[in-house]
Amino acid sequence: MNPLRAIADPSPGRHIKLLPPPDGASDGRSALADLLRLMCVNTEERAVPDIPLLIRRVGTGEALFREGLPAHSIYFVRSGTFKTLHTGLDGYEQVLGFFGKAEVLGFDAVCAAAHPTEAIALEDSSVFVLGVQGLQGRLDTCPVLARVIHRAVSEALVRQGEIADVMAAVAAEVRLARFLLNLSHRMLESGQSPSRFVLRMTRRDIGSYLGVAHETVSRSFTALAAWGLVAVANREVRIVDMEQLRHFSLGTRRQIDDASRKELTCAARRAA
């Protein structure tokens, strides 16, 4: 059997590459078993039906899918990071979210004929591809896959709530604090360090997501660092005081004026 054989991904795109399956794995049953393991589902591999999946690699800056093009597949992030965005009539690219390992992209393919957003890889990434054509039959054959998809939809709804919570804050520093705490929680869920991580997105991406200028993002990072809440070195972030960062993030309607900034800075110096 050709180790690179897979079911073709019908969604258009450039630079589509097939990855060889893991050692000793077939391209059908084991690919699905790998997906279930990625989603932290414990199941006997012999109980997993033979549902072929494509593993697709997407290079940094390349599109997994594009806004307005036909939607044919659901994508489970196997490795790497993506951003989703919507391009307005004036050409402005509004970043809508960031997605990492074990998260789902393109679920609008189930109910929409075309993608309403675009997904771009922020680093070299790979995804499992699950075509929506005949999806119900696959779910009937593999109830555990149905549970995985239902959980993924539920988690996506939770993420939408997180976005609303971030945007409810008035001060840019509070929005950034909430963004970092949400990212920290997601890192913890994926088995990575919740207090030290590398931001794959740019300051401009973060600014678009938070609804502020990228210069404001840079100033907000500087402020959080001055207050002893985080340490920043380029894109590497370390949360120095998780408890105080959480406490600071609770200030939904509070503006951070110059007096408050000075007070926070003095408090950080005393604590040091």
**195 and 248 together in one domain:** yes
**84 and 136 together in one domain:** yes
Measure the CA–CA gap between 184 and 205, rounded to whole angstroms.
18
| Residue range of the domain that includes 152 | 17-161
Range of weakest confidence among 38-42, 172-176, 259-263: 259-263
Tell me the average pLDDT of the chain. Answer: 82
CATH of the domain at 106: 2.60.120.10
> Considering the domain boundaries, does residue 1 fall inside one?
no
**Predicted structure pTM score:** 0.81
Measure the CA–CA gap between 32 and 128, rounded to whole angstroms.
9
**127 and 65 together in one domain:** yes
> Considering the domain boundaries, does residue 4 fall inside one?
no
> Considering the domain boundaries, does residue 3 fall inside one?
no
Q: How many CB atoms lie within 10 A of CB 32?
A: 24
pLDDT in tens, 193-214: 999 999 999 999 999 999 999 9
pLDDT at 271: 59
Q: What is the mean pLDDT of residues 15-19?
A: 41
**153 and 90 together in one domain:** yes
**67 and 86 together in one domain:** yes
**204 and 118 together in one domain:** no
Answer positive or negative: Cα dihedral of 207, 208, 212, 213: positive
**143 and 224 together in one domain:** no
**25 and 144 together in one domain:** yes
**137 and 208 together in one domain:** no
pLDDT at 157: 83
Answer with the one of 104, 139, 161 that is the final residue of a domain.
161
**131 and 34 together in one domain:** yes
pLDDT in tens, 101-159: 989 999 876 777 889 999 999 999 999 998 888 778 888 888 888 888 888 888 888 88
Answer with the one of 98, 131, 161 that is the final residue of a domain.
161
pLDDT in tens, 39-89: 887 766 556 676 778 899 999 999 999 999 998 899 999 999 999 999 999
> Considering the domain boundaries, does residue 9 fall inside one?
no
**44 and 128 together in one domain:** yes
* C-alpha distance from residue 137 to each of 5, 34, 37 (Å): 22, 20, 21
Answer with the one of 138, 161, 184 that is the final residue of a domain.
161
Residue with tokens 């180790």: 3
**131 and 22 together in one domain:** yes
Which residues, other chains included, contact 172 with Cβ-Cβ below 8 Å and sequence gap of 6+? Answer: 210, 212, 216, 217, 219, 220
pLDDT at 184: 96
Question: For residue 228, which of 245, 216, 215 has the smallest C-alpha distance?
Answer: 245
pLDDT at 1: 35
* Local confidence band at 38 (pLDDT 50, 70, 90 cut-offs): confident
pLDDT in tens, 68-80: 999 889 999 999 9
> Considering the domain boundaries, does residue 231 fall inside one?
yes
Range of weakest confidence among 146-150, 232-236, 240-244: 146-150
Question: Is residue 257 predicted with pLDDT exceeding 60?
Answer: no
Domains identified in the chain, total number: 2
> Considering the domain boundaries, does residue 31 fall inside one?
yes
pLDDT at 69: 92
Tokens read off for 172: 């840019």
